[in-house]
Amino acid sequence: MATSIAGRFTELLDHTEPFSLLTDEERQGLISSVEIYQPGDVILDQGTDVHRALYVVASGLVRLMDVEEQRLIDMCGEGAQFGSYGLLQGGILPYEARAVEATDCGLILAERFRALLKQNEAFKAFFDEDLKRYIRTLDTDLDASGAFLLFDTSLASLLHRAPTTVAPDESVQAVAQAMSADEADAIVVVQDGTPVGVVTEGDLVEKIVAEGRSVAETPIMALVERPPIALTGKERLFDAVRTMMHYRIRRVVVVDDTAENGSGVLGLLSAEDISHFRGLDPVATIERIERATSIDELAKIRAESNRRMLRLYQQGVQSEDLLDVIAEIDDQLKRRLLLLVEAQLREEHPEAVFDGAWAWLAFGTPGRRESTLFARQDNGLVYADPAEGEAERAAAWYAMVAERACEALAQCGYAPVESGLLARDEPFRQPLRAWKAAFQHWAEGADADGTARAAVAFDFHALHGDGSLGDALRDTLREHTPNRRLLAILVRRATEASVPLSFFGRFELNRSEKGSEGFDLRARGLRPIVDLARALALEVGYLKSSNTFDRLRHVADSESPSAAEAKRLLPAFQTLADVHLRRQMKAAEVGETPTDWIDPGPMHKSQQNLLKETLKTVQEVQQALGSRYTG
């Protein structure tokens, strides 16, 4: 029995963060003992000041709760750990840990835990962020049971029936018979153990019955348009939610990554399955967007979606993941909006239609895929260079498209442009050659003020239309970066931003238009980090992504002389993004308009200290990089 338990803990630690961040030698003998608890047993008493170990759950479920406030903090299932708060902070424990069901816990003694913090930087960073996350959510009621389902539920555990599978050479008739026999609404086409297609009842109706094709003679692969998206059985329910949103699909194949060929099919998970397990999800929001037939309908969907974001946060979705969800919904909604706008204009003005390649560009915050609930437009339009004699007609058509699109975006609640980049304005609605010339001019930095004002143009992606036009602009940027002049301009812009912290470490507060004290967190906290990340990424030639998290991680892992500063900025950006987003979600939840304004006064004292510490980090990095690049 002891060997079995030891083996279980060894496997658990090898494959579970943060323990997988340790070396084999550091993990050796890490678990000092195993304790078994029955349902209802109190493992840690709230108020205790004796902190003897970190607890690792091997099986069962443990509830962490502030019993004095009756606030649920977390539900810890297999692989989760608890008890680090007391080991890191000391003093009294602010929650109770109680077994919900029969639970086995492995104990890592306090001395060993603290030694690992000193010798393994990645291990320490994990628990530093874990502590900050706890402090950031002191004023948030968490849906820990929902978080457990979303992040601790493997896809394999959700599958309650074997999938219906067929070979690729089967006829449609044979497949239909197999689906009927299994009462299945979809099947997986498998070749040599690997899924190569998914076919649904709808495919049979639309591609066979409606077209009058022969069910006996048509091979099933004739109905497969693309390979299926597959996830492993070990991945989480949240992974399936995010994957379905990104690829705009309703089903994912779940495979067994431990199978001999690494791809044995375990089952098929649908959007309906997710709705059954969790209720309404972002996947359902994407489906509603795709079915929307008017701008009014899209505006309602966006407002409803904003109000639901807090629910995901309460279920443990971290700010970076949540920003990704918001960005995906944002992008999909804008794509649908642009399709509707173009269709309307083609119907209203058939004589003005110009058929050419074009793309809608997202700049700034949406260009970085960091849109929050208070989103601005920041956009442009690029179109293929028209043939001789067609320039005027092309310009007139795309002017109509841009004007109508910007009106529709405003109708959906996107705030007025902040960066000065707006597609309805002619300078930001140009053929490709004009855009390339502008990017070259900005990148060369001959006009320092012009480059500084246009810096957010370096944060872009082609959101809709012909992506090759966006690639061409990125190639132009690549040809003219890095260069020292541009780097100095961008760093100077980043260091000129005033962080709202005085020389004595107090918040510098302003008064809003509504009379409340506070400061603009985006302008005075997030933007300096965004600007520094942009500069450092361009210095090392990183253009794969304009996302700030991606930029900072890439620079931190590079040979850049500023890698250490990028490592410091990453947790700072995570904290500020979390505070920013949480305030907006709470406003949306009660029907208020989300803004970038934050008043630190009502915050918990620990949250205020964390915010001050984070802003101080930004100030210190500004000073260090300012001296290095502009001094």
The candidate with the shortest Cα–Cα distance to 164, out of 190, 194, 196, 127, is 190
Task: Tokens 């700034």: give the residue.
Answer: 364
Please state the domain count of the chain: 4
Residues 338 and 363 in one domain: yes
Residues of the chain falling short of pLDDT 50: 1-3, 262, 279-280
Same domain, 218 and 343: no
Tell me, yes or no, whether 26 and 165 share the same domain: no
Q: Based on the domain organization, do 354 and 433 belong to the same domain?
A: yes
At residue 181, the pLDDT reads 87
- Its domain, for residue 32, covers 2-136
Quick one: 292 and 392 in the same domain? yes
Question: Got the DSSP string for 309-334?
Answer: HHHHHHTT--HHHHHHHHHHHHHHHH
> Is residue 150 a part of any domain in this protein?
no
Predicted confidence at residue 584, as pLDDT, reads 87
Same domain, yes or no, for 172 and 273?
A: yes
Task: Name residues whose C-beta falls within 8 Å of residue 164's C-beta, 6 or more positions apart in sequence.
Answer: 178, 179, 182, 184, 186, 187, 188
Q: Are residues 356 and 465 in the same domain?
A: yes
d(CA 476, CA 156): 46
Last residue of a domain, which of 479, 502, 534?
479
* Domain end among 417, 447, 479: 479
What's the pLDDT score for residue 419? Answer: 61
Residue 148 lies in a domain: no
* DSSP code, position 600: -
pLDDT of residue 468: 96
Please check whether residue 465 lies inside any domain of the structure.
Answer: yes
Contact 382, 473 (CB under 8 A): yes
Query: CB burial class (10 A; 0-12, 13-18, 19+) of residue 311?
Result: middle
Q: Which two tokens stand for residue 538?
A: 């361009």
Q: What is the pLDDT of residue 2?
A: 42
Q: How many CB atoms lie within 10 A of CB 62?
A: 24
**Residue from 420, 463, 414, 415 nearest 438 by CA:** 420
Closest listed residue to residue 249, CA positions, set 265, 231, 271: 271
Per residue in 90-135, pLDDT tens? 889 999 999 988 899 999 999 999 999 999 999 999 999 888 888 8
Query: pLDDT (tens digit, 9 = 90+) per residue, 404-421?
Result: 999 999 999 888 776 678
What would the pLDDT profile of 2-58 be if each residue is shown by its tens digit? 445 667 788 889 888 899 999 999 999 999 999 999 988 999 999 999 999 999 999
Residues 6+ apart with CB under 8 A from 344: 404
Whether 420 and 541 map to the same domain: the answer is no
Beta bridge partner(s), residue 54: 108
pLDDT digits (tens, 9 = 90+) for 230-254: 999 888 887 888 888 788 888 999 9
CATH number at residue 89: 2.60.120.10
- Measure the CA dihedral 144/147/148/149, to 10°: 130
Distance of alpha carbon 397 from the chain centroid: 35
Please report whether residue 141 resides in a domain: no
pLDDT of residue 3: 46
CA 268, CA 295: separation in Å to the nearest integer?
34
Q: What beta strand segments (E) does 445-500 contain?
A: 460-465
Helices (H) and strands (E) in the chain, counts: 25, 21
> Nearest 5°: CA angle at 354, between 351 and 360?
130
